[in-house]
Amino acid sequence: MASGEKRALITGVTGQDGAYLAQLLLEKGYEVHGIKRRSSSFNTGRIEDIYQDPHDDDARFHLHYGDLTDSTNMIRIMQEVQPTEVYNLAAQSHVAVSFETPEYTANADAIGTLRLLEAIRILKLEETTRFYQASTSELYGLVQEVPQRETTPFYPRSPYGVAKLYGYWIVVNYREAYGMHASNGILFNHESPLRGETFVTRKITRAAAAIKLGRQERLYLGNLDAKRDWGHAREYVRGMWMMLQQDQPDDYVLATGETTTVRDFVRWAFEDVGIPLEFRGEGVDEEGFCQNTGKCLIKIDPRYFRPTEVELLIGDPTKAHEKLGWKHETSVRELAREMVQADLEIMRDAPIAKDS
Ligand code: NDP
Ligand code: GDR
């Protein structure tokens, strides 16, 4: 590698953020290495557009099989790649699923982060390798202060949040103990047409498209009162990169500063496919009716309620704005529209959507 050349290693490259980040770094001239998991079915759909044939001498995008639960595998990949920047985006990232798989979630999300930091230390790459950790607004959990900022106390409310709390602090500790350039991005929810289908925004936009096209009867959801600060994933991965370009490592909140209920997101998505909704009832009895036909399109299924919920997230991105020059651009309303349009296109050829 020529001196000054940048080489990134992205864990979780097959996920929403991994796909956007890989694309951004390739555009910036990086050599990009991604870690993907072995799967019995195809799991590289999101990076199809940037895939490069490894036989091509000019290829700058390379994939390695790996898993955050496997230390020797992490050390070997780190040794082979010798990255100048590591972006740790891999995680069991579904909050509800973490209640069902708490031990695995801790292994991948908490100890997985430690494994990567240790790989850097064992290989004596501390001086040359910068580290980004995908921390989360789920650290804030039970409301302590609004809007939530870097100094707001943490109170996670799920095994996922607790595992990510370990990830956050081990990054801070390795920064202080070994002088590593390691930063936490405390990112609030960010979505896109590449969002996983079981996260609420995508579940809603897919269902709105499918119902519009007559391919689905109704949508089952959980807590409609939860409030989230939703931004666009493409803009948030740019913030991750900006953090690693700073002379000093630090921790930053990325958020829009605006919060929306799940119910309003549902309303917008259905409005965007031309189905005005009216909600009646409350809690588990709540139902959303199409105003034109009186047909019940939204029903509450208590299975989607979480044992402990994060009711309100609203972030204060002032530090990122002032120190990084980062700011969100897309409003949540525009985001909903973009996702609905994308799902309408996909859905025209898709098989009938199943309840997810
Ligand atoms: P996704 O769920 O879309 O992607 C997660 C990625 O991690 C996938 O590539 C997945 O592989 C991979 N992965 C999961 N478990 C392992 C493992 N044990 N070893 C190796 N790879 C694994 O998440 P997002 O892209 O949305 O989020 C990226 C990161 O940012 C995550 O760490 C998430 O927790 C965090 N985060 C996300 C926010 C958001 O709103 N999107 C907000 C704040 C933080 P596969 O494709 O095979 O499943
Ligand atoms: P979240 O995202 O838990 O905030 O974590 P998700 O979209 O799963 O839930 C958002 C809110 O919607 C409520 N909800 C439902 N959620 C899902 N998935 N399915 C439903 O049917 C449903 N009905 C209501 C939830 O209760 C919740 O309040 C995301 C992930 O990307 C994490 O990895 C990341 O760290 C945080 O965002 C910031």
Contact indicator for 211, 297 with CB cutoff of 8 Å? yes
Residue 175 has pLDDT above 90, yes or no: yes
344-349 own/partner pairs: CB under 8 Å, 24+ apart: 344/209, 344/212, 344/213, 344/273, 346/209, 347/206, 347/209, 347/210, 347/213, 347/215, 348/213
Contact indicator for 353, 254 with CB cutoff of 8 Å? no
Q: Across-strand partners of 32?
A: 8, 61
ipTM of this complex prediction, to 2 decimal places: 0.99
Residue 333 CA, ligand 2 centroid: distance in Å: 18
Q: Given this model, what pLDDT does residue 352 score?
A: 58
* Residue among 87, 132, 140, 160 flagged as catalytic: 160
> Roughly what angle, to the nearest 10 degrees, separates helices 200-212 and 262-272?
30
DSSP character at residue 281: S
Q: Which of 340, 94, 95 has the alpha carbon at shortest distance from 202? A: 340
For the question of residue 136 being annotated catalytic, the response is yes
Residue 254 CA, ligand 1 centroid: distance in Å: 17
- Residue 263 CB less than 6 A away from ligand 2: no
- Residue 92 CB less than 6 A away from ligand 1: yes
The mean pLDDT of the chain is: 96
Q: Which of 92, 164, 194, 199 to mutate to test the pocket of ligand 2 (most atoms within 8 A of CB)?
A: 199
- Residue 152 CB less than 6 A away from ligand 2: no
Contact indicator for 197, 206 with CB cutoff of 8 Å? yes
Domain ranges of the chain: 7-187, 200-228+260-309+331-347
The CATH-assigned architecture of domain 7-187 is: 3-Layer(aba) Sandwich (3.40)
Q: 119-143, pLDDT tens digit by residue?
A: 999 999 999 999 999 999 999 999 9
Class (C level, CATH) for 200-228+260-309+331-347: alpha beta
Q: Is 220 helix (H, G, I), strand (E, B) or coil?
A: strand
* Residue among 31, 138, 191, 235 flagged as catalytic: 138
Q: Given this model, what pLDDT does residue 52 score?
A: 87
Q: How many distinct helices (H) and strands (E) make up the chain?
A: 11, 15
- Residue 226 CB less than 6 A away from ligand 2: yes
- Residue 67 CB less than 6 A away from ligand 1: yes
Q: Across-strand partners of 85?
A: 8, 130
Q: 1-59, pLDDT tens digit by residue?
A: 555 789 999 999 999 999 999 999 999 999 999 999 999 999 999 999 998 888 888 89
Task: Work out the pLDDT band at 351, boundaries 50, 70, 90.
Answer: low
* Residue among 136, 201, 259, 330 flagged as catalytic: 136
Is the pTM higher than 0.95?
Answer: yes
- Residue 211 CB less than 6 A away from ligand 2: no
